[in-house]
Structure formats: C-alpha cells, structure tokens
C-alpha cells in the first residue's frame, strides 16, 4: 500500500458523499472511480471496494445515531458546561451537555452585575439547573445563506437551549475532566494575553497561539479574508512544524531522541485541545504524530501517505468533518503542495520558491473559496509571498517567545512585545490599506455543479503540466474563471427575490441574460437603545450579513439602479454599505419636497463622492431594459410626506404584472387609484409591511392581486402584519407569502413563464 493510501482516501470521499447525498450523481462518481481503479490500479480494486463499503456503512450508522432524545415540552434542565462561555455584550453562548446530548446554550444577560457574576461562575465542568425552553436551530432564510441547522447537526447538536435565568445557587463546580481542565488552562492563557499584551497585538497573538479570533478587530478580520490571507490566522501545518521542530530541538538536548519523540506524541494531543481543536490543527498534529511514530519505529512514511492516513483517521472519528470548510481547505492545499513539491524544489531563486507555493495554494483552494465566499482576491499570490515569510519567521516566533517569557515574568517580555507590536501594527496597516482602498477582488458568485467540475479539471490539468514544466496549463484555469464571470450573461432566466431582511424591504430584480440588475430598498437595522455593558463588538448588520452576501453569491459586481423608495431606516439603512461595496450606476430617490432626513442626506453625499448619478423620480418617469419597461406611478406631488412619498413601481416580468408599493398608506393608495382607475396587478408587494394603515378595501378592489407578498420581520415590535390586512386579502382569495413565515420569496422566470418558491417549507 506504500504510496497508494491516497486512493483509499478518495474512495472514502466518494462513498461518504454517496451515503449523505443519496443522489444519482454521487453514486455515478463513486461507480466511475471504482471502474477507474479496476482498469488502472487493479491491485487496489478490492481494497478500495471494501473501504468504500465500510465508510458508506460507517456514515449511515453514524447518521442514524445522530438524533435527539429531547423534546419541545422539556422545561427543566440539568446541564454540564463542556466548553468555555463566550460573552458578547448581553449575550452569553456556550455548549452544554444534557442527558448525554450536546446543546447550544444562548442566554441574554439581564444586568452588568449578572454579567460579571456569570463570567467568573461558569467554567468548563460547572453543573447548573435551569428552567428554559428548547428551539430548533434556524434554517437559512435567504438563497445561498449559511445553513445553521445543518452546521449544528454536523456537530451533533439539535437544539438551542434558552434559560429563563442562571442563578448561582443552582450551579456548582464538579470535578472537571482532563479535557475540561485543558479548556480552563486555554482560557487562562487567552486572558493572560488580553491582560498583558498591547491592545494592537492581542487578537493576532491569541489567534496564533490558541486559535482564538474573538478579539480580532472586525475590519481587520474581513481584510485578511478578502485578501486570501486568513489561513495565516489559523493554526496549521506551518505553525505545528515550526513549534514541533523547536520543541524537539530543545528536548533532545535534555533527553534521548526516543524519549523526546514519546514526549511530543503525548504533548501534541494536549496542544490540539489548547488550540481549539479546529480541523486544520487536528490535521497538522495528526500528521506530525504519524511522522514521529514512524520515525520512532525506524520507518519512513511518504508525506502523501501520512496525509492520507490522517485524513482517513479523522473521517473514522467523525465523517461529518468532510463538509467542514476548514477541513476541506486544509487537506486540499496540503495535498496540492505535496504533489507539487518537485516543482518547488526545482526553483533556482528564493523569489520563485515563494511564488510557486503561493500560486499552488491559491489554485488548489480556488474552487472552495468561490463556492463558500463567492469571490477571489487578485492580490492573494503577491501578498502571500510577503506575509507567509513575515508570519513564519517574525510574527509567529515573536508571539511564541513573548507568551512564554510573559508566563515566567511579564517584565522580561516587554522588549519582545514592543517589537511584536511594531511589526503587527505595520502589517495591519498594509492589510487594511489593500482590503479597503485597493481591494482588487473579483466577485464570481457561487459556481454551479458543472463549473465546479470545470474548476477541478482545469486545476488538475494545470498541475500535471507544471510537473512537466509546461505552464500553459494555468491558462485553462483562467478560461474557467472567465466562463464563471460571464455565466450570468448567458443565463436566459430572470428573477425577482423578496429578501428576508427582518423588519424592512429589500427586493432584488435581475433581468434575463443580466441585461440589468436592480435593488429596490436595502433593508436596515432598526436602532436599539443599549447600555454600555450590553453593546456587542460584532453587531448584526442586515447589509453585511444578508444583502451583500446574497448579491455576491449571485455574482453581482454592479447594480444598474439602486431604488430607495423613501427615507426610513428599514428601507435604506444598508444603502451606504451597498454603495461602498458595489459599483452603483444610478441612485433613484423620491422627488419629495427636497427636505431630506440625516440618513438620506448622508447617502446622497456618499453618492456624489462615488460619482453616482442621482435621479429624483416622480409619476410619469419610466425606463426600459432588456425588453422590460418600469413605470413610476407615485409620488405625484412634491409636497408628499413620510410614507406617502414612497416610490411606487409597476412592471411586467415573466408574464406577471407587479406593483411595488414601498410604504404608501391610505392617502397614497387613494391617489394611486384615482390616477390609474384601470390599474391591476397579479403580484402586490403589500405596503408598509402589512400595517393596518395600508392595503385598504378600495385599493384591493381595484388592484385585484392574485399573490400578495408581505416583507415583515419575525416577532417584530409593531405586530405587523395587521390581522385586518390578512383578513382583507384572504377574503379575496389572494395567496399570501410572508418573509417572516416563508423566508425569502423568489420568482424565477424565462420569457412569459415562471415559478414562485420560498426558502422555508
């Protein structure tokens, strides 16, 4: 089997995928792979078939066992903390164990005093008795959004526990397990860095030493992500290799080589726990342990076999790891670097030895990056050539030395911390400069299945050709990237999507062949009054967390029109973030009386800075694109105020007539009916989130909508939609689609035919 374990690893991938997906395509790939082995690697055929069957059965068994034994009606819980708590403002989050089952605990702290008490009371191993409720993790509410329920299920968690209160008299510290003691030790180390290190270095050092990113500045973390440098902040093979080498060098000065090897084999699992047990850490430590064990037995284990054995062991322990993005990236990049080692070794200069690993890593990770993050950085290779040596030989060693010396005597660590601070501040400035001022990222969107196959095939061709010192193969990768970028422009389907942005409006319209892309409103986070202790470092933002990821997942790089119906924050609150992220050609605002709210004025000022054409529209304005015309029906008078100043649009898309009403109220509806006595629409965007002040009997009698879409937040403070509005619509047999109940509402069409679909069943 020497040199052939990788074929067993590939068989495991196909068999687990077939067991999970249960699709014809997955089975077809598995069968084709087995046939390939039968033809080209007949000696491995039987072993691979047996391995495929075993991994298939192993996953089926594990998946059947991955069920909950708890029920909705439970109200009293005795839980044990199995992980450190995370407190962000007034939100406490951790993982607990109830009756042998893991739960995600989320608790909202009621006072600053309680926050201080809980932060010192709750440590791994603490047992508490609470009253609370169980709820299922959320399903994705928008297209291509993060699937939180599936993510938790892959971690064997099926419920979110929300306690009414956590009282100190109902908690006690039990005898902690070794694992819990190590977690507590990790938390002490993280706190020590926070207490003693300069503020600019805390987040980076915690990430490099303990795999903890919570203290990293949000903008900085986004910068590393955008530039393709995020792997530097994850503990990986490079970190482990440097640390193991350094520790081994010290140990053999004190003990025999065999004793040093055994000590490292014992210490590496401890290091896995201390650094957060991420897949990249487990992979790096496991491969290091396999190498050390083989060396101890006076054996040589090829790097590819070592990686493949680590891969198989991790899948045996938890087959769900196959769908962890960190697991996928870690093994894919390492696999590519091992296979391309000859290309790197033949490099004559240090510059080329930096360039080729950066290029190989970027190429191998490309399909995963565009699938999960929808874009690629054009700076990635160049900046990796600078930052990989910087982190490997300066920042990481300085961090390790500073932490080690600080643990012995904080005073002696000051010079190291000072130098570390200077280097990190400089590197942070470079990251923020390139990520904010010169991002140079190409948004491609989530690739289709066939594009993914194209990426993999092109990258394999490129690697094969590089082995032969023929570099034209890389051109195939650029061809696939070009096809991916152009794919929306050859797509005959158009769509209208009512995004679920909570209590607000955001409507995405894309015409066939991407003749135009419009966004009607952007949603916005309603302001909340919070005390200082309640404020969270990472605030949920509808623009960053919902609208921008959706647009990027669709491969949107520019908006032809951003239409802001009126000035309310729940309609234009995220507009500034949209304008900063995407190229907006035209901003449409209601003509109104010229008196803008501070939010609207700020938006207009930003538009002028970005040289965006601002168009004030009113009744009678219209435009056409791709054979479709859009008509502005409202407002008419320049003295309209507030909600009745909303832009109302009419269009015919996919053989269906649409009326987008903003937040107009009864007065605006009357004016609309009087101005257009024959106006009818198949689909009505219900005004003002279903408020009782809109959608009147008179208006519905004339419009006669077949479908009504209500964009409204779940459990919103205004109790929208009004029961009276629902009653009026039901009386007319209108199909009601609501974002609070159905998630995003999507209409996909080609020519004059289309289909409605919703995200939630």
The alpha helices in 215-320, defined as continuous H runs, are: 218-226, 237-251, 257-274, 279-296, 303-317
Please list the residues that pair with 93 across neighbouring strands: 86, 106
- What is the Cα–Cα distance from 590 to 567, expressed in whole angstroms? 9
- What is the signed CA dihedral for 234, 440, 222, 368, rounded to 10 degrees? -50
Task: Supply the pLDDT for residue 708.
Answer: 98
The length of the chain in residues reads: 761
pLDDT exceeds 80 at position 699: yes
Task: Supply the pLDDT for residue 639.
Answer: 58
Task: Supply the pLDDT for residue 343.
Answer: 78
Please list the residues that pair with 95 across neighbouring strands: 104
pLDDT exceeds 70 at position 732: yes
Give strand ranges (E) for 348-465: 375-377, 441-443
Q: Which two tokens stand for residue 500?
A: 């679920």
445 phi and psi angles, rounded to 5 deg: 85, 170
Give Cβ neighbours of residue 334 (< 8 Å, ≥ 6 apart): 237, 283, 307
Identify the sign of the CA torsion 459, 461, 465, 470: negative
Task: Supply the pLDDT for residue 532.
Answer: 85
DSSP 492-543: --EEEEE---SSS--EEEE-GGGS-EEEE----PPP----GGG--SS---HI
Q: Which residue has the tokens 């000696």?
A: 43
| pLDDT tens readout for residues 349-370 | 778 888 888 889 999 999 999 9
DSSP 436-486: IIS--EEE--PPPHHHHHHHHHHHHHHHHHHHTT--TTHHHHHHHHHHHHH
Task: Supply the pLDDT for residue 507.
Answer: 98
> Which three-class secondary structure string do you get for 678-741?
CCCCCEEECHHHHCCCCCCHHHHHHHCCCEEEECCCCCCCCCCCCHHHHHHHHHCCCEEEEHHH
Give strand ranges (E) for 512-655: 517-520, 558-559, 561-564, 583-584, 586-590, 613-617, 622-625, 628-634, 648-653
Closest CA to 496 of 749, 241, 173: 749
Average pLDDT of the segment spanning 99-107:
95
Average pLDDT of the segment spanning 184-196:
92
Average pLDDT of the segment spanning 182-211:
92
Closest CA to 87 of 103, 110, 107, 113: 107
Average pLDDT of the segment spanning 515-529:
91
Q: Which residue has the tokens 């033949």?
A: 346
- What is the signed CA dihedral for 542, 545, 550, 556, rounded to 10 degrees? 90
Q: Where does the pLDDT of residue 342 fall: very low under 50, low under 70, confident under 90, or very high at 90 and above? A: confident
DSSP 488: G
- What is the Cα–Cα distance from 461 to 478, expressed in whole angstroms? 12
563 phi and psi angles, rounded to 5 deg: -105, 110
Task: Supply the pLDDT for residue 299.
Answer: 85
DSSP 391: I
| pLDDT tens readout for residues 269-288 | 999 999 988 999 999 999 99
- What is the Cα–Cα distance from 572 to 593, expressed in whole angstroms? 18
- What is the Cα–Cα distance from 520 to 685, expressed in whole angstroms? 11
Decide if 650 contacts 634 (C-beta within 8 A).
no
| pLDDT tens readout for residues 559-588 | 999 999 999 999 999 999 999 999 999 999
- What is the Cα–Cα distance from 572 to 564, expressed in whole angstroms? 6
Q: What DSSP element (H or E) covers 104?
A: strand 101-108
Q: Which two tokens stand for residue 713?
A: 């937040």
pLDDT exceeds 70 at position 638: no
Task: Supply the pLDDT for residue 469.
Answer: 77
| pLDDT tens readout for residues 292-336 | 999 888 888 889 999 999 999 999 999 999 999 999 999 999 999
Q: What DSSP element (H or E) covers 423?
A: helix 414-432
| pLDDT tens readout for residues 7-34 | 999 999 999 999 998 888 999 999 999 8
| pLDDT tens readout for residues 377-406 | 888 899 999 998 999 889 999 999 999 999
Least confident of 235-244, 251-260, 752-761: 235-244
Closest CA to 56 of 18, 10, 29, 23: 18
Decide if 129 contacts 170 (C-beta within 8 A).
yes
Alpha carbon 328 to chain centroid, angstroms: 15
| pLDDT tens readout for residues 32-86 | 998 988 888 888 888 889 999 999 999 999 999 999 999 989 999 999 999 999 9
Decide if 42 contacts 72 (C-beta within 8 A).
no
Average predicted confidence (pLDDT) for the chain: 92
Closest CA to 690 of 716, 720, 714, 666: 720
DSSP 215: T
524 phi and psi angles, rounded to 5 deg: 180, 145
Task: Supply the pLDDT for residue 596.
Answer: 78
Least confident of 182-186, 629-633, 656-660: 182-186
Task: Supply the pLDDT for residue 56.
Answer: 95
Share of the chain above pLDDT 70, in %: 99
Q: What pTM did the predictor assign?
A: 0.93
| pLDDT tens readout for residues 413-467 | 899 999 999 999 999 999 999 988 888 889 999 999 999 999 999 999 998 888 7
Task: Supply the pLDDT for residue 438.
Answer: 82
Give Cβ neighbours of residue 81 (< 8 Å, ≥ 6 apart): 94, 95, 96, 122, 123, 124, 125, 126, 127, 128
Q: Which residue has the tokens 């034209």?
A: 472
Q: Where does the pLDDT of residue 593 fall: very low under 50, low under 70, confident under 90, or very high at 90 and above? A: low
- What is the Cα–Cα distance from 641 to 308, expressed in whole angstroms? 67
Q: Which two tokens stand for residue 158?
A: 């099926």
pLDDT exceeds 90 at position 497: yes
Decide if 267 contacts 240 (C-beta within 8 A).
no
- What is the signed CA dihedral for 519, 521, 522, 523, rounded to 10 degrees? -150
Task: Supply the pLDDT for residue 240.
Answer: 86
Decide if 641 contacts 668 (C-beta within 8 A).
no
Task: Using DSSP, state whether 745 is helix, strand or coil.
Answer: strand
Q: Which two tokens stand for residue 445?
A: 């969107």
How many Cβ atoms from other residues are within 10 Å of residue 396's Cβ?
21
Task: Using DSSP, state whether 96 is helix, strand or coil.
Answer: strand
Instruction: Identify whether 635 is preceded by a cis peptide bond (ω within 30 of 0).
Output: yes
Instruction: Identify whether 478 is preceded by a cis peptide bond (ω within 30 of 0).
Output: no
| pLDDT tens readout for residues 604-626 | 999 999 999 999 999 999 999 99
- What is the Cα–Cα distance from 497 to 220, expressed in whole angstroms? 32
Decide if 445 contacts 376 (C-beta within 8 A).
no
Task: Supply the pLDDT for residue 640.
Answer: 65
508 phi and psi angles, rounded to 5 deg: -105, 130
């Amino acid at each position: 089997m020497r040199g052939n374990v990788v074929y067993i690893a590939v068989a495991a991938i196909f068999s687990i995928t077939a067991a999970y997906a249960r699709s014809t395509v997955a089975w077809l790939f598995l069968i084709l792979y087995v046939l390939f082995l039968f033809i080209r690697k007949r000696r491995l055929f039987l072993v691979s078939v047996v391995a495929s069957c075993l991994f298939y059965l192993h996953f089926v068994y594990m998946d059947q066992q991955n069920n909950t034994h708890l029920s909705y009606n439970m109200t009293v819980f005795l839980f044990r903390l199995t992980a450190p708590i995370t407190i962000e403002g007034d939100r406490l989050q951790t993982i607990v164990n109830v009756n042998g089952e893991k739960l995600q605990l989320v608790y909202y702290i009621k006072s600053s005093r309680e926050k201080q008490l809980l932060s010192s009371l709750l440590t791994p191993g603490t047992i508490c008795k609470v009253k609370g409720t169980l709820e299922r993790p959320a399903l994705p509410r928008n297209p291509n959004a993060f699937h939180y329920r599936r993510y938790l299920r892959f971690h064997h968690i099926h419920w979110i526990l929300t306690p009414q209160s956590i009282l100190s008299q109902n908690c006690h510290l039990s005898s902690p397990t070794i694992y819990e003691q190590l977690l507590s030790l990790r938390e002490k180390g993280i706190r020590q860095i926070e207490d003693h290190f300069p503020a600019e270095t805390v987040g980076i050092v915690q990430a490099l030493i303990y795999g903890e990113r919570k203290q990293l500045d949000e903008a900085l973390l986004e910068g590393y992500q955008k530039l393709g440098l995020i792997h530097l902040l994850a503990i990986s093979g490079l970190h482990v290799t440097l640390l193991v080498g350094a520790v081994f060098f010290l140990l053999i000065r004190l003990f025999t080589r065999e004793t040093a090897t055994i000590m490292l084999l014992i210490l590496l699992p401890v290091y896995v726990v201390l650094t957060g047990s991420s897949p990249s850490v487990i992979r790096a430590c496991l491969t290091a342990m396999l190498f050390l064990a083989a060396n101890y037995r006076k054996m040589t284990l090829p790097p590819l076999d070592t990686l493949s054995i680590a891969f198989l062991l991790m899948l045996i322990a938890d087959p769900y790891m196959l769908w962890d993005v960190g697991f996928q990236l870690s093994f894919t990049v390492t696999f590519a670097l091992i296979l391309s080692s000859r290309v790197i070794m033949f490099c004559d200069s240090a510059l080329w030895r930096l360039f080729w690993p950066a290029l190989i890593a970027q190429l191998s990770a490309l399909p995963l990056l565009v699938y999960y993050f929808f874009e690629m950085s054009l700076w990635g290779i160049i900046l990796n050539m600078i930052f990989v040596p910087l982190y490997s030989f300066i920042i990481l060693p300085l961090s390790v030395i500073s932490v080690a010396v600080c643990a012995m005597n904080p005073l002696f660590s000051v010079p190291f911390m000072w130098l570390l601070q200077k280097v990190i501040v400089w590197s942070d400035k470079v990251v923020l400069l390139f990520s904010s001022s010169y991002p140079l990222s190409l948004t491609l969107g989530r690739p289709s299945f066939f594009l993914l196959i194209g990426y993999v095939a092109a990258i394999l061709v490129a690697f094969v050709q590089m082995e032969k010192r023929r570099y034209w193969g890389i051109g195939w990768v650029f061809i696939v990237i070009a096809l991916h970028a152009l794919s929306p422009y050859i797509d005959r389907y158009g769509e209208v999507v009512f995004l679920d942005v909570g209590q607000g409006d955001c409507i995405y319209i894309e015409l066939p062949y991407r003749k135009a892309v419009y966004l009607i409103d952007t949603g916005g986070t309603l302001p909340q009054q919070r005390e200082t202790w309640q404020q969270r470092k990472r605030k949920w933002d509808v623009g960053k967390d919902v609208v921008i990821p959706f647009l990027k997942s669709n491969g949107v790089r520019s908006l032809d029109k951003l239409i802001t119906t009126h000035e309310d924050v729940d309609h234009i609150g995220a507009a500034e973030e949209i304008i900063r992220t995407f190229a907006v050609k035209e901003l449409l605002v209601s003509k109104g009386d010229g008196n803008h709210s501070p939010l609207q004025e700020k938006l207009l000022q930003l538009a002028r800075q970005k040289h965006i054409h601002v168009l004030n529209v009113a009744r009678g304005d219209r435009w056409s694109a791709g054979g479709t015309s859009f008509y502005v029906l409202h407002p008419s008078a320049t003295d309209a105020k507030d909600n009745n100043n909303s832009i109302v649009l009419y269009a015919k898309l996919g053989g269906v007539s649409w009326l987008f009403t903003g937040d107009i109220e009864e007065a605006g509806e009357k004016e609309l009916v009087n101005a257009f006595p024959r106006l009818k629409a198949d689909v009505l965007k219900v005004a003002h989130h279903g408020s009782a002040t809109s959608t009147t009997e008179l208006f519905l009698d004339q419009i006669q909508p077949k479908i009504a879409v209500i964009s409204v937040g779940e459990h919103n403070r205004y109790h929208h939609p009004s029961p009276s509005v629902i009653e009026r619509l039901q009386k007319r047999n209108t199909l009601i689609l609501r974002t609070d109940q159905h998630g995003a509402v999507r209409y996909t069409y080609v020519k004059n035919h289309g289909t409605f679909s919703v995200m939630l069943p």
